[in-house]
Chain A
Amino acid sequence: MTRLKGRPVFGGLASGPALVTKMPINFTASLTKPKNLIPWWRSRIQDRHHDLFKRNVKGCVLIFPAAIGSTYTGMVLLELMVQGRAPAAVVVQNIDPLLVSGPVLADIWFSKGIPIVEYSGEDIYDRISDDDWVEVNGKTGEIKIREQISS
């Protein structure tokens, strides 16, 4: 078990398999395409320019450098949370208000927020790989990583 200490931003405790990318994510371009209207593809990334193209964010701990693109970012996340198709938690290197607005408003309006922790160190990409089990504490900033047992 590896532990990292990030900056607590929002929310409580959640865990899930890691989904890691070194590319900033444009949530509007990723999750508001016509294909996202299909319920089982609602949370599938449809940004063809992105490493995570066709990956599903539902239930994962999403680890990425920053959110980019449209001011609609927060609402995209909010909608996923309301529909129960959001990531379990978010660990981001550079936090911004638009990203935070989604979980905060989902919590206020629908009691469905997710934890966010900011961890700026580049070592996060050495410490966490896809599918490692990660627990994120939005109150303390603690990130616990249980590495995937390779078969």
Chain B
Amino acid sequence: MAASGGVALFHVEGITPEARDLASVFDGDPKEVITITQKDIDALRFKDPDGATSVVFGCPQMTYEEAMGLGQHFVGKKTRLPTWFCMIPEASKRFKGAALYTRVVEAGVKVVDFCPLAGFSLRIGNKKLLTPSGKLYYYLSDTIYGTVKDCLKACGVQR
């Protein structure tokens, strides 16, 4: 929201702690209401299964819990595209101690602890990175956006 939405700070009703309900964060009725539909979001999504040349997870960098959740999809499989887990350094240290880490690496995933924006800004060749992060899609050139499921499908680990 901060990267692309024109807002530096935001409330999410029922999610961010100060915004228990709309009355807690609005002084009266909102001045303007903007409706975003699933169709709008889908319009951004990548639709060409051969369009991506690599897949990057993590922006903001992944937590241990995210890696443990996402890693399950790669167990016993091989990713068909270069795939990165960009993790928080401390989280990646912890993840490397988990049994799942070896399985994920065996599947061809590169587990790194750098920021994908810094790490992939300069890259050789006009590679199309597929990301499930709206933030990375906004900041990094030559990216395509998809859901986590779109990304896992592009890796060939989920149908």
Contacts and interface: CB of A to CB of B under 8 A. Distances in A.
Contacts of A26: 3-4, 138
B141 A69 contact: no
Interface residues of B: mostly helix, strand, loop or mixed?
loop
Main secondary structure on A side of the interface with B: loop
Given A34-B122, A69-B2, A69-B3, A29 B8 contact: no
A68 B10 CA distance: 12
Contacts of B122: 34
Interface in B101-127: 121-122
A66 interface: yes
Contacts, number: 38
A35 B11 CA distance: 35
Interface of B: 2-8, 121-122, 138-139, 141
Given A29-B138, A66-B6, A67-B8, 16 more contacts: A23-B6, A24-B6, A26-B3, A26-B4, A28-B139, A29-B3, A29-B139, A33-B121, A33-B141, A34-B141, A68-B2, A68-B4, A68-B6, A68-B7, A69-B2, A98-B8
15 contacts: A23-B6, A26-B138, A28-B139, A29-B139, A33-B141, A34-B121, A34-B122, A46-B141, A68-B4, A68-B7, A68-B8, A69-B3, A69-B4, A70-B2, A70-B139
